[in-house]
Amino acid sequence: MMMLTNRQPRFASLGISNPFEGLAGFRRLFDEPFADSTERACCSSMEENGWKPLVDVVDNKDGILLKVEIPGVKQEDISISVEDNTLTVKGERKQESQVNEEGYSRFERSYGAFQRSVLLPPTVDADRVKATYKDGVLEIQLPKTEEAKPKTIKVEVG
């Protein structure tokens, strides 16, 4: 006869933690919440909602850097605006016409218009925003105001 017993884990005090929990504050920067893993896994939801380019946000002492992945989009099809402390990137990836002689096509890229908006913190100097576009990555530099930059104070011997 086999007996089943309830065993307690050897390290019961160790819990499961979410390594991305600290990044939750960046969610409020975007005009839409990040998609959960089930939404990203389903191709049909992306097709129904259009496509949204991925955005990396890097905050450093001099400013904030946004990297927007938009491969296949021509520079002239990109628009960047700042209004009411909101930076908006708009554009369109156009599908190239393709002749298929076999009668079957499959495309794994999304096409059409996109828009991403980021709420800028008051520490950003909106008059000095610069953008560059290279190899399908749009980099937007958002410099901080001089007042917002960290200052070092030298300690003198007294």
pTM (two decimals): 0.60
Please say if the pLDDT value at position 67 is more than 90.
Answer: yes
pLDDT of residue 108: 74
Tens of pLDDT, residue by residue over 72-107, are 899 999 999 999 889 999 999 887 766 666 777 777
Nearest to 137 by CA among 96, 89, 95: 89
pLDDT of residue 114: 94
Residue type, 26: F
**Cβ distance 90 to 154 under 8 Å?**
no
Residue owning tokens 């050897």: 10
pLDDT of residue 133: 96
Domains in the chain with CATH codes: 28-95+110-143 (2.60.40.790)
